[in-house]
Amino acid sequence: MTRVLCAGHVNWDVTLRVDSLPAPDGEAAITGQTHAGGGSASNTAVTMESLGVDSALLGSVGEDDYGRLAREELTAAGVDCSHLQRTIGETTVKYLVVDDRGEVMVLANDGVNESFRAADAPDSLLDSVDHVHLTSQRLETAEMLAERARDAGATVSFAPGRRLDERDYRSVAATADYLFLNEREAETAAEEGLLAAGDGVTVITRGEDGGEVRASSRRTHSGYDVEPVDTTGAGDAFAAGFLAAVLNGEDDDDALAVANAAGALAAKSIGARTHVSWADIEDLRE
């Protein structure tokens, strides 16, 4: 069975449903509230596991109730959490404010989600995986994990996320076989020289407008017409769908269609973690 290591953020999310996102000095009515796990690495691992890809997770949580809940939820989803570090401090909590169109505003504490290090992944773990998916994390951790993954013969993907404009990730992007970005991140990446840093494939999600693959040529997919409920984690599901398809032997065009389907299905449900089946994806594609 194909095995993937996802490395990066593991959070606990508090999602507040509101009638509208408030303007400065404004107010909105809370129409619902949920608590569940989040964080790009763990979100991706859960979706990949639901698509039949054996997934392990490298990250860090605090020795608190939120950390315990996150670990229990991930383990119940089938994710291998034996390398999820527990450290002194608070699990990162994100407060997600979601309006009735599915648009999201995020508030977060610092927490310990970047306390893990590349050394926390033993050689035996990297030798056992076919692919390493890196999400937002300390630069030095990402660089070392990418290098060690290459040495172990694994392919590498990278989804740098919102902190792309704060960290010089060019060396990691140059190592990656696949670079995942949203439209805003793609603009920043172009300005920072990340898109020219390596010879890999760049995959861009465009939300309701689908996605794009950039390699030797550009290919697009217009996506699927769904009514969004919560776009939190849709980009992580998009990356998980793409990687699951590629690792299953699909070409980049079919993988892009699968990615768009996974992202669309994620946007139809509340919360950052999405359980998707191949039957769900095929139904939407048809």
SS3 of residue 156 by DSSP: strand
pLDDT of residue 58: 98
The answer to whether residue 236 is catalytic is yes
Q: Which residue has the tokens 């570090």?
A: 85
Structural domains for the chain: 3-11+40-95+112-285 (3.40.1190.20)
Q: What residues contact residue 46 under an 8 Å CB cut-off, 6+ apart?
A: 37, 55, 74, 77, 79, 273, 274, 275
In terms of phi and psi (left: phi > 0; alpha: psi -120 to 50; beta: otherwise), the region of 18 is beta
**Among 236, 251, 253, 283, which one carries the catalytic annotation?**
236
pLDDT of residue 1: 55
Q: Give the torsion sign (CA, 264, 142, 50, 201).
A: positive
The C-alpha atoms of residue 233 and residue 230 are separated, in whole angstroms, by: 8
Q: Are 274 and 237 in contact (CB under 8 A)?
A: yes
Side-by-side strand order, sheet with 104-108: 30-38, 11-18, 93-98, 104-108
Which tokens hold the place of 70? 């996150």
Q: What's 23's DSSP letter? A: P
Per-residue pLDDT reduced to its tens digit, 181-237: 999 888 888 888 777 667 789 999 988 888 999 987 788 888 888 877 777 788 999
Which tokens hold the place of 274? 């999405």
Average pLDDT, the chain: 90
Residue type for 196, please? A
The C-alpha atoms of residue 98 and residue 1 are separated, in whole angstroms, by: 37
pLDDT of residue 244: 96
SS3 of residue 47 by DSSP: helix
Residues of the chain with pLDDT under 50: none
pLDDT of residue 2: 65
